[in-house]
Chain A
């Protein structure tokens, strides 16, 4: 009986140690960098693009073009209208920038840019942005990846084509008085999503 009790205690201790070791190993695995910057950028882009596609398709295009019950407007507050998909995307990017300030391990930024921007602040600015936006416009379906140094930090920069998938995208850009290009067609590359991840300080 005494032996049996000792055996149980030993077994308990062994299980506890094994459990602790597994937990430590799991924690290590959780924090181990196993994803490349490119894979992370691709994953982020997939989420961003899917969310915006759903907003464009099931909210903006459905209510504006199909059901015709409300307008979408750049001045959505004054016009009591829906925010444009590009605005929804930009507001998300600004909120991410703000919230990630409190998360030291989360460090990336993204923006929507174009060679033909309605808002001139969204024109490419860095050399990589300029080269990347040109590349994705000329090589349909391809992404552009590069490294660049900005403000003393090296970044992995990924640029993904942004295609006019819905009629509202094309009609809005072609009809906007500040748009430098007004002959977009459905399926054209209208701009690009730029994602930046710092590689070193």
Chain B
């Protein structure tokens, strides 16, 4: 019997070892070779990354890499947004040996100190996973230098957009003072105009050699079998900016590398075709929630995958450039309102058509209001900004990363609200949750005291200066 037991035990060992080897082999294959790595997902992703949750390698670029791999992944996508408009807590500040003691309190050299992923239970809506008192590690004695800040609670630093770790200068005191006592609506409220057409000479990659800027007519169309083209599509092209600017059919329907090869015709060009001329717009689109799946090689985002309320009948739409900018008309009016409302189904979106902003928009579209006087969804969520194309030049373009001005909503103040409204009114309106929900129908019922604080600070400084002069 003992011999039989020993044989039985050996068999169990063999079975166990075989199963374990198989498990290890499967896990190793999943990690190193398979496209599906969901088995390793330690927890749900934040709202900022859930769309690309199946593309683990977008962040975990090396399955065996450590924190430095993750840090580089953060920088690859968000690095440029940290540089502009202004990073008040750059890495270089903390690399300075004089701040070595501060690094011991909070490791500000790496993103995951404050932005931990896969931990929804400790992550706030703005993607920050640090406890709310992180400002106090270094700025506990702010009241000494700023009497107006004495007695403020530790979790109020970022209220009303006053302080943002990465851009502390958005609402600095002198800026508030410059905008003191402004009316609710400015004398001539106007949004900036786009300037793409006027900047073509300065866009280095623009294919002006193949498609020189000139008015094209019907006979110029270089599509094969152009006579069979859907009549409305052909007319749309002829009547709009592309034909006016020399952009022939092949500019979009044949990729640059295949120019001259008629077999390379593509009936349904995607965002890569648009990027030949509108590279910056496409890159920014790929940074936002609409296009980030495309940026990591996944199929386009669909409203069905969104966490925000979306219209049930829009769930199948695939978000490409043409989803909002319908070919061949590329109507910016359609893209700026109708495209958004075709999917978004939250309170704020549903209330838009009852708002004063929409009334102004209708007038502009009807030709009754001046250019730039109407306010569409895009006016605030994809505003026209003076974007730094490089270190050496900038141009006014539509910010196609809709996240850039979304959270916190005070990021919208400079690129959108201040073109038409006074700063004090803007701060109050954006802080009023109810007013945001009903798309700004009515007046703010909250009041942000930043303007008064800045005014008091200015007065204090003037009194001190007068005292010095008298002495």
Contact = CB atoms under 8 A, between A and B. Distances in A.
Contacts of B218: none
B419 to A, nearest CB: 15
Interface residues of B, number: 26
B91 interface: yes
Contacts of A93: 92
Interface string A101-132: 10000000101000000001000011001000
B98 A150 contact: yes
Interface stretch (B53-61, B265-273, B303-311, B457-465): B457-465
A151 B95 contact: no
B266 to A, nearest CB: 41
A111 B145 contact: no
A105 B422 CA distance: 52
A75 B97 contact: no
Contacts of B458: 177
A151 B101 contact: yes
Given A94-B90, A94-B92, A196 B461 contact: no
Chain B contact surface mostly? helix
Given A75-B175, A78-B175, A98 B92 contact: yes
Given A94-B92, A97-B95, A182-B465, A150 B100 contact: yes
A89 interface: no
A97 B96 contact: yes
Nearest to B177: A177
Nearest to A124: B98
A125 B461 contact: no
B413 to A, nearest CB: 13
A137 B248 CA distance: 70
A177 B172 CA distance: 13
Contacts of B100: 150-153
A52 B17 CA distance: 71
B346 interface: no
B95 A109 contact: yes
Interface of B: 90-93, 95-98, 100-101, 103-104, 145, 169, 172, 174-175, 178, 457-458, 460-462, 464-465, 468
Contact of A182 (B92, B169, B174, B468): B468
Contacts of B178: 78
A155 interface: yes
B175 A111 contact: no
Nearest to B103: A151
Given A101-B95, A120-B145, A150-B97, A177 B461 contact: yes
Given A75-B172, A98-B92, A153-B100, 12 more contacts: A93-B92, A97-B92, A97-B95, A98-B91, A111-B98, A151-B103, A177-B457, A177-B461, A177-B464, A178-B145, A182-B468, A183-B468
A109 B457 CA distance: 34
Interface string A70-101: 00001100100000000000000111011001
A155 B97 contact: yes
B461 A109 contact: no
Contacts of B104: 151
A120 B138 CA distance: 12
Nearest to A181: B468
Contacts of B96: 97, 109, 111
B92 A126 contact: no
Given A94-B90, A98-B91, A182-B468, A153 B457 contact: no
Nearest to B86: A77
Nearest to B102: A125
Interface of A: 74-75, 78, 93-95, 97-98, 101, 109, 111, 120, 125-126, 129, 150-153, 155, 175, 177-178, 182-183, 194, 196, 198
Contact of B98 (A125, A183, A198): A125
Contact of A126 (B98, B175, B462, B468): B98
Nearest to A155: B97
B171 to A, nearest CB: 11
Among A97, A126, A175, A183, find the residue whose CB has the most chain B CB atoms closer than 10 A: A97
B466 to A, nearest CB: 11
Nearest to B469: A182
Which are the 6 A-B pairs with shortest beta-carbon distances?
Answer: A151-B100, A177-B461, A97-B92, A150-B97, A94-B92, A150-B100
Given A151-B103, A183-B468, A196 B97 contact: yes
20 contacts: A74-B174, A75-B174, A75-B175, A78-B178, A94-B90, A94-B93, A97-B91, A109-B96, A109-B97, A111-B98, A125-B98, A150-B100, A150-B101, A151-B97, A152-B100, A175-B465, A177-B464, A178-B145, A182-B468, A196-B98
Nearest to B169: A75
A131 B145 CA distance: 22
Contacts of A129: 98
Contacts of B175: 75, 78
A97 B96 CA distance: 8
Contacts of A94: 90, 92-93
A111 B172 CA distance: 23
B461 to A, nearest CB: 3
Contacts of B101: 150-151
Nearest to A126: B98
A78 B172 CA distance: 11
Contacts of A78: 175, 178
Contacts of A111: 96, 98
Nearest to B471: A183
A131 to B, nearest CB: 14
A178 B172 CA distance: 13
Among B96, B103, B174, B464, find the residue whose CB has the most chain A CB atoms closer than 10 A: B96
Contacts of B464: 177
B418 to A, nearest CB: 11
Contacts of A74: 174
A177 B174 CA distance: 10
Contacts of B91: 97-98
A55 to B, nearest CB: 19
Contacts of B103: 151
B30 to A, nearest CB: 35
A126 B461 CA distance: 29
